[in-house]
Structure formats: structure tokens, C-alpha cells
Amino acid sequence: MPLDRTPSLQAHLISKSFLSGLIRVQVLTRLSLSVMPAELTLIVGPSGCGKSTLLSIVSGLQNTDEGRVVALGEDLSRARRSELERFRLHHTGFVFQGFNLFPALTAREQVELPLSYLKLPLREIHQRARDALDEVGMLSRADRYPAELSGGEKQRIAIARALAKAPQLLFADEPTSALDAVNGQAIIDMLHRIAREHGTTVLCVSHDPRLVRHADRVLAMEDGAIQRDWRDPQNQPVPEDIVHA
């Protein structure tokens, strides 16, 4: 797939603060970034540095106090709530630490559910779900319920659910933190492959140092700002200060 070097996601001087009791806490401070398609971009940093808030803002789940977010050419900062909901439905996928699976639905039904909101023909819904489950190696477990699945299998189902929508933007918040080393490795390899093979923009937040060596780009955050932006096309080792950010 030819690489499009036009940023698919941009943040321009965004700031965000929250009120904690009587104190206003500044979480992001005039932060800017551009994220490219067909890459796995990883945001790392200590707890409380603003990683998840940044992910939430650029995905359209939260508003900024200042600045703009442009995704796939659309200014999300000026969009109405209904427009944001439509944008997320049609263009984005989400993978979370807690899997967010419905206990009463089978793996197949988990994947088909968001497709039904797209009002696709039933035949296409079934085929997309089958293809997505097959891609993550879970087709044989399609009729199992979450209680019958391991943590790694649950996360694969969550990825299949996001993948079935064919999103241009895929956001992952701590996708490996609840998994052991083997399953964590499998999940990050899967996200990397999705970026490369589907041309998807994959933006992942994690404090897991295992993920750093498998990303195309690493953004190290601290105190609400990006302190390091690492990319090395020659596959040189990742600097240790980023690995342990």
C-alpha cells in the first residue's frame, strides 16, 4: 500500500484543565502534534502526565479548553455533539484496557453490534464480523461468551470489533496492561500489522515499556507536554530514556 504522508490527525496548541475541589489542575499545555497514517504511534509517560486526556481529546471524546483538533480534514473542535458522534461511528475504532465487552453477547455478536449502527445489510454485517474475527485469530471462538475467554482472547475480540468498521483512525488506551508478556506481545504486533496492512492511523497510549520497541514513532510526555518525539527509519535501538519514560 503506498504511504500517504499527509497527517491524518493533528492537534494545534491544545490545552486542557480540570477542577479538583477548589484547585484547577492543568493537564495539557499548548500541545501540538501531527500523526501519520499507516503507522503505530505510541504515547508514553508517567501516570498523570496527560496521555489518556490527549487520546480522549484527539479522538473527539472530550473538548479542549483551547486549540484545535483536525482529524481526516475535519475540525473536531468546531463540531456539534451529533457531528462528533457520527464522525466516531464512521471513522474511528477504540480498544481499551478493560476490553468493554458485553457479558451476554457472544464474540460474534460483540463484533456485529457496532456494525448494526452503520445500517449495513445483514449479509455484510455477518461477513465483516467473520473477516475481522478471522484476522485476529478468533473465528473458532466466535460463539463463546466473555466469561469463557482469556484476557488475551477478550482483547482480540475488542480489536476485531474495532477492525470490522474499517476505521481510518484506531485509538488504543493501555491495551496490554491487563495482559501477560506473551499476550501483550501478540496484541501490539496485531496493532502494528493493522496500521501497515490497512493503512490505519493507530494511536496508542501506554506505560508498558514492551510496546516501545514495536512502534513506528514514540512520543514521550511529561507534565502535559511532549518532551521527546522519536522516530528512526534505520531501526536503531530506542533511547533508554524513552523506553523507561
CATH number of domain containing 17: 3.40.50.300
For residue 124, being part of any structural domain is answered with no
For residue 36, being part of any structural domain is answered with yes
pLDDT, one tens digit per residue, over 13-62 is 999 999 888 899 999 999 999 999 999 999 999 888 999 999 999 999 99
Identify how many contiguous H helices and E strands the chain contains and give both numbers. 8, 10
Number of domains in the chain: 1
What CA–CA distance (Å, rounded) separates 202 from 97? Answer: 15
Domain that holds residue 80: 9-100+167-243
Note the pTM of the prediction, 2 decimals.
0.90
For residue 120, being part of any structural domain is answered with no
Question: Phi, psi at residue 53, to the nearest 5°?
Answer: -65, -40
What CA–CA distance (Å, rounded) separates 75 from 180? Answer: 38
For residue 141, being part of any structural domain is answered with no
What CA–CA distance (Å, rounded) separates 143 from 115? Answer: 17
By three-state DSSP, how is residue 208 classified? Answer: coil
> With contact defined as beta carbons under 8 Å apart, do 151 and 123 qualify?
no
For residue 35, being part of any structural domain is answered with yes
pLDDT, one tens digit per residue, over 90-144 is 999 999 888 999 999 999 999 999 999 999 999 999 999 999 999 999 999 999 9
Q: What is the pLDDT of residue 239?
A: 63
Which residues fall within 8 angstroms of residue 21, CB to CB, at 6 or more apart? none
For residue 200, being part of any structural domain is answered with yes
In this structure, which long-range contacts are made by residues 194-200, counting pairs with CB atoms below 8 Å and at least 24 apart in sequence? 194/159, 194/163, 194/170, 195/38, 195/39, 195/40, 195/170, 196/1, 196/38, 197/1, 198/163, 198/166, 199/1, 199/4, 199/37, 199/38, 199/168, 200/37, 200/38, 200/167, 200/168, 200/169, 200/170
